[in-house]
Structure 1
Amino acid sequence: MDHRRLVPRTDVVLGDPRLAAACAAFGRAQVKAAVAKAQRRARAGEIEPEGVVAATLEALRPAAPMRPVINATGVLLHTNLGRAPLAEAAIEAVAAAAGAADVEFDLTTGERARRGRSALAALAAAVPEAGDVHVVNNNAAALALAAAALASGGREIVVSRGELVEIGDGFRIPELLESTGARLREVGATNRTTRDDYASAVGPDTAFVLKVHQSNFRIEGFTGSVGVARLRGLGVPVVADVGSGLLAPEPLLPGEPSVRQALREGADLVTASGDKLLGGPQAGLLFGGAELIGALRRHPLARALRVDKLTLAALTATLHAPETPVGRALRVSAGALEERARMIAGRVARADAVVEPVSATVGAGGAPGVRLPSAAVSLPARFAAALRTGDPPVVGRVEDGRLLLDLRAVPPSRDGELCKAIGALGE
């Protein structure tokens, strides 16, 4: 019999329950086109006739929205996996704001209202040291807005050579700041900068002194730097980029600067990220005096950098949440993680699945060098691709020929899925 006669008809394929979700997500026309492509492959002998539905789903996958991933890398804030997972309250807030919402409307008066007022109020309450707050779309945007508003037209920004960092994907702080029309005045040496270096560089063309936290690297040995408190009194504003989104000091990360600490030490303006240790959506947070923040908010670039309603909703809910997934992952004990790892290894009942003590990291430029004791289910490295391309995808890390599924960033609610994914592996 001609195998081409075994290829299922289009209406039969479209009626398969496995394609119902695809039709709802992509529309019948796009799914039908994918079915036709799979049928042609089956007629050409590239796939079996009974594989048409599976091939259709595979063809639609590249066009699908982002897929949920189990982050078993041991990196709490994995930039390639979207950094901070949102709290349940933030997810619900995004869904609620997806339709028409009172983003710039006062329901009581029927008049236009300040955009993002709930998020701004929550930020101000979380950081009472700030006279005012503002939100843009990421921390790089926050720095760019500060430079554009305060140092455009060739005015100088004084910064230590040891703090001219690259923030990822080839983007560098110096180039970002210079793109606004500001000029950089580098002071000190790569490993050591003194207060006198700053003082001697400050002059009539100085817009502000910039203090950048070395959030994604460390310099060790014969080093020296100047803290925010000692930069006061130079006659110009001090702008501090604390980067990691830590609003208040965290005992588990004693070397990580916080927004409140920087303001207490005398910073005039502080910038931070919303999607790192704060545990919220991608956003750039600005804190400072009311006059300074007002000048930034009125700058024309502020409109181009403003955030959308979904970000505002998620940020507000994050700030009100009692705890975020990032906070829980940071504070869970190594003993609890080991207990979960042993439970998972026991449930999958594989001789090659063993429990190993490991070290996790914060990631995303937060707390460089800090190791968080953790526990992992260890498997042969050859299973990395199978887990990564499974459903749901499980992403671990490979070390010394072993695939480590570090549990520190995996919420306990996903342990069942992790067990199922491991159990489905072959030999």
Structure 2
Amino acid sequence: MAKKFAKEHSAPNKDPRRSIPRVDELLEIYHATPSKINRERALEIAREVQADARAETPGRFSELSADDLAARVREEYAQRLGNTQPSSLTAVLNATGVIIHTNLGRAPLSNAAQEALIQASGYVDVEMDLDSGRRSSTRGKAPSQALVWALGTPAAEDALIVGNGAGALMLAATALCGIGGQIIISRGELIEIGAGFRLPELIEATGAKLIEVGATNRTHLADYAKALEQHGTTTGSATTRTAIFKVHPSNYRVAGFHAEVGLKELRTLADEYAIPLITDVGSGLLHPEPRLPQEPDMASALKDGADLVIASGDKLFGGPQAGLIAGKKSYVQALRQHPLARAVRVDKLTLAAIEATIYGHDTAPVLQALRSDPEELRRRTEKLAADVGVGEVIEHEGRVGGGGAPEYPLPGWALALPAGLSALLRQPTDPDTAVVVAREYQGHTLIDLRCVPEEEDAAVADALKTILDKL
């Protein structure tokens, strides 16, 4: 035994990296412990740990014995296995004050929607009649009926849920106009929706001809009428597949010398030429929101004369990414039966989350954050300041985000801390510490609790104290 020990520990020229455990030895740890990942991913992690150990052995591992180095590598592998999640997405606490934060996945789901997702993640009767045991054509019927019910207006005769807002717009343009058809829209509404995607390009991709009317800042009813006359449309019956589109430019505003045509006026023109009037209200409000008086909503758009209204599901509606379509039954049916509808169809998880969001709409986190009482936010922020023992409570304006209501700041409060803490909050060294996304502004790190569930305030405080204790 003494001879063996001497052989292992008295040879100064022996490369210590030879003691790094083999892959199969590390995989024994994987097989012996519960894990959320498969063997292939565990194998990849084992090789990563080996590579890191080989690279670092001349440095921080140089003083370790062969046995200690092997133990350290096994420990590192076990730790990485435990910290590896099935998804690369990391749960965070949004302390920016921006409600619909696109970089953070937009709307967080309500508890009801999360429960519905779990329930729908297994086998469900998405296309089966449980009475007969046969296939049914009821896919998406329940959430569509729920949306009609929630809008609460006779003008919402039918509804359809698709993959996202852009998909809803393209489906409407393709099914009702398409190749050889015409779409009339104000120049002031030819928006870029983000990531370089522009409305004119989306419409042109459908094969329809885009007819721009008016000017960037001013468009009048006569501009629409002139376009209809000049492009072969006669009163009483459209000679081509033509539609009027009205799009809410939610991510910017034109102020000053400005004019636009409302849906009620456009309705009279659409009736005169017997063509559909389609509007995209953007953010997905179902009904008027007093805190956002200029933000259009789906129900009002239908009452004002739109044949179809389109909105996003993951903004102020408060649900998963989806395109919400509601309006005249004949038009909704035309969209539902078009081949493109299959390409933008949503899965069972989205259907379940949409329905749950509708029936529990007032509990949606985005609406709770939007309607937060400033004084209640101040109380929570002052308590946070007392818990961490540092910082100043200051007034801070939250934002809707997601390209919605840019001109409406939301009064609130924030904890102002020394600059530069946000990077540390995003990357805590302790895996049990919450990841907090804060805001750097005017030489301070700002913690705004508007979008943080109150039950998570303590987690924010713990994250701050962990960082501040190390400074």
Identify if the C-alpha distance between structure 1 residues 179 and 9 changes in structure 2 by more than 3 Å, giving closer, same or farther.
closer
Q: CA deviation at 1:176?
A: 0.4
Pairing partner for 2:387 from 347, 358, 363: 347
* Aligned partner of residue 100 in structure 2, secondary structure: coil
2:458 is the counterpart of 1:416: yes
* Aligned partner of residue 358 in structure 1, secondary structure: strand
Hey, what's the Cα distance between the residues in 1 that align with 2:326 and 2:55? 63
Pairing partner for 2:260 from 192, 208, 225: 225
What residue is the counterpart of 1:105 in the other structure? 128
Hey, what's the Cα distance between the residues in 2 that align with 1:312 and 1:66? 22
For residues 155-213 of structure 1, give each alpha carbon's deviation from its aligned partner in whole angstroms, at most 9, with x where no partner exists.
Answer: 21110000000000000111001100011110111111111111111142461111110
Hey, what's the Cα distance between the residues in 1 that align with 2:305 and 2:157? 13
For residues 326-372 of structure 1, give each alpha carbon's deviation from its aligned partner in whole angstroms, at most 9, with x where no partner exists.
Answer: 1111111111111111111211223xx22221001111122121100
Hey, what's the Cα distance between the residues in 1 that align with 2:306 and 2:312? 17
Q: CA deviation at 1:145?
A: 0.3
CA contact (8 A) 1:249 1:261 kept: yes
2:284 is the counterpart of 1:245: yes
Pairing partner for 1:42 from 32, 42, 53: 53
Identify if the C-alpha distance between structure 1 residues 118 and 7 changes in structure 2 by more than 3 Å, giving closer, same or farther.
same
CA contact (8 A) 1:147 1:180 kept: yes
Identify if the C-alpha distance between structure 1 residues 276 and 263 changes in structure 2 by more than 3 Å, giving closer, same or farther.
same
2:173 is the counterpart of 1:147: yes
What residue is the counterpart of 1:122 in the other structure? 146
- Residue identity (%): 46
Identify if the C-alpha distance between structure 1 residues 325 and 291 changes in structure 2 by more than 3 Å, giving closer, same or farther.
same
2:412 is the counterpart of 1:377: no
Q: CA deviation at 1:41?
A: 2.2
* Aligned partner of residue 401 in structure 2, secondary structure: coil
Pairing partner for 2:366 from 293, 305, 326: 326
Letter of the 1:379 counterpart: L
Identify if the C-alpha distance between structure 1 residues 29 and 188 changes in structure 2 by more than 3 Å, giving closer, same or farther.
closer
Identify if the C-alpha distance between structure 1 residues 297 and 58 changes in structure 2 by more than 3 Å, giving closer, same or farther.
same
Identify if the C-alpha distance between structure 1 residues 349 and 51 changes in structure 2 by more than 3 Å, giving closer, same or farther.
farther
Identify if the C-alpha distance between structure 1 residues 125 and 94 changes in structure 2 by more than 3 Å, giving closer, same or farther.
same
Over the aligned positions, Cα root-mean-square deviation in angstroms equals 2.4
| Bigger Cα Rg | 2
Q: CA deviation at 1:305?
A: 0.6
Q: CA deviation at 1:36?
A: 3.7
Q: CA deviation at 1:63?
A: 7.3
* Aligned partner of residue 342 in structure 1, secondary structure: helix
2:36 is the counterpart of 1:25: yes
Letter of the 2:354 counterpart: L
Hey, what's the Cα distance between the residues in 2 that align with 1:99 and 1:43? 43
Instruction: Identify unmatched segments of 5+ residues in structure 2.
Output: 1-8, 62-68, 234-239
Hey, what's the Cα distance between the residues in 2 that align with 1:401 and 1:165? 34
Instruction: Identify unmatched segments of 5+ residues in structure 1.
Output: none
Identify if the C-alpha distance between structure 1 residues 64 and 52 changes in structure 2 by more than 3 Å, giving closer, same or farther.
farther
Hey, what's the Cα distance between the residues in 2 that align with 1:53 and 1:64? 23
Name whichever of 211-220 and 122-131 sits farther off. 122-131
What residue is the counterpart of 1:367 in the other structure? 405
Q: CA deviation at 1:55?
A: 7.0
Identify if the C-alpha distance between structure 1 residues 424 and 225 changes in structure 2 by more than 3 Å, giving closer, same or farther.
same
Hey, what's the Cα distance between the residues in 1 that align with 2:201 and 2:307? 23
What residue is the counterpart of 1:336 in the other structure? 376
CA contact (8 A) 1:34 1:56 kept: no
Hey, what's the Cα distance between the residues in 2 that align with 1:14 and 1:341? 47
2:110 is the counterpart of 1:87: yes
What residue is the counterpart of 1:392 in the other structure? 434
Identify if the C-alpha distance between structure 1 residues 354 and 13 changes in structure 2 by more than 3 Å, giving closer, same or farther.
farther
CA contact (8 A) 1:147 1:182 kept: yes
Q: TM-score by structure 1 length?
A: 0.92
2:211 is the counterpart of 1:173: no
* Aligned partner of residue 52 in structure 2, secondary structure: helix
